[in-house]
């Protein structure tokens, strides 16, 4: 499982379904987040190039440090 908080603070943004224009792979479950599905974008403040897209449920149920 990817742990973006290992880099410190993270910025979390919710992407509405109508703005989700591409498929992404969730780093928690390794399943596709299909186009048109609302999800979270998680960006480590100190490492913005490590931005990842998470299912809502995967982000909510993760075990943060």
DSSP assigned state of 62:
-
CA distance readout (Å), 1 to 4, 6, 46, 61:
10, 12, 19, 12
* Per-residue pLDDT in tens (0 to 9) along the chain, 65 residues: 468 888 789 999 999 999 999 999 999 999 999 999 999 999 999 989 999 999 999 999 887 65
Residue 30: CA count within 13 A, CB half-sphere: 1
What stretch of H or E contains 59?
A: helix 56-61
pLDDT at position 1 is 47
Residues in the chain: 65
């Amino acid at each position: 499982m990817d742990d973006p908080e290992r880099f410190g603070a993270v910025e979390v943004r919710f992407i509405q379904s109508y703005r989700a224009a591409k498929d992404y792979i969730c780093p928690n479950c390794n399943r596709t987040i299909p186009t048109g599905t609302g999800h979270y974008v998680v960006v480590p403040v100190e490492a913005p190039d490590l931005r990842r897209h998470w299912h809502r449920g995967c982000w909510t149920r993760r075990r943060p440090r």
